[in-house]
Amino acid sequence: MTHATKIAAGAAFPPISVARLGGGEIAPASMEGWRLLVVYRGKHCPLCKPYLTTLDGLIETFAEAGVQVMAISADPEEKASADAAEFGWRFPLGYGLSVEQMQALGLYVSDPRSPQETDRPFAEPGLFLINPAGTVQIVDISNAPFSRPDLTAIARGAKRIQDMNYPIRGTHG
């Protein structure tokens, strides 16, 4: 059994790009400033909805810390669009994440349990706080939908990192 290489803390964020609902693209590596990328499993995941709704509720908190937030999944446009319409999320939402892109991000990739779940491989949860230099300041990758970081703590941490010039942790060779 093989797994993609996990992104190391302090590594350059990979140059991935996915389509963005409403037009354009989400390409975190080419953006400026602090940014938070949340990778979610997709429309089929009942745990993703409250997590992304929590993220939406923290947009102002992240903005106060100077952090742009965005989320992406492997869903096709119509599924991403349906979720965005149903839940009213205000952050940029990307769709069409490929298996190769999931692997470039070091994510765990799962196959659907049935056609009723979804019709394609999908990424398990991932969260990346990317600093203005384009490097990964915080990385959290899970192999199951039940394990995700506390978004309020991430927002507080992003502010603290900037206020204290806190270094990237976990880089000991």
Is the pLDDT reported for residue 3 higher than 70? Answer: no
139 lies in some domain: yes
Query: Residue 107: what pLDDT?
Result: 97
| Residue 46 placed within a domain | yes
Q: How far is the C-alpha of 23 from the C-alpha of 129, rounded, in Å?
A: 24
Q: pLDDT digits over 130-152, tens only? A: 999 999 999 999 999 999 999 99
Residues 150, 79: Cα–Cα separation, whole Å? 25
Q: Is residue 154 part of a domain?
A: yes
What integer pLDDT is reported at residue 2 of this predicted model?
55
- Decide if pLDDT at 4 tops 70: no
Q: Is residue 7 part of a domain?
A: no
Residue 41 covered by a domain: yes
Dihedral sign of CA atoms 20, 61, 159, 55 in order: negative
**Which residue matches tokens 């300041």?**
137
Q: Let me know: does 37 contact 137? Beta carbons within 8 Å.
A: no
Considering the entire predicted model, what is its pTM?
0.95
- Rounded Cα distance between 56 and 94, Å, is 15
- Domain of 69 in residue numbering reads as 32-164
Residue 1 has pLDDT above 70, yes or no: no
Paired tokens of 84 = 């965005």
The answer to whether residue 18 sits within a structural domain is no
Chain segment 38-47, per-residue pLDDT in tens? 999 999 999 9
Assign residue 89 the CATH number of its domain: 3.40.30.10
Q: Residue 170 falls within a domain, yes or no? A: no
Residue 15 lies in a domain: no
81-116 pLDDT tens trace: 999 999 999 999 999 999 999 999 999 999 988 877
Tell me: the pLDDT tens digits for 26-78? 999 999 999 999 999 999 999 999 999 999 999 999 999 999 999 999 999 99
Report whether pLDDT(119) > 90. no
Q: How many domains does the chain have?
A: 1
- 101 HSE (CA, 13 A, CB side): 22
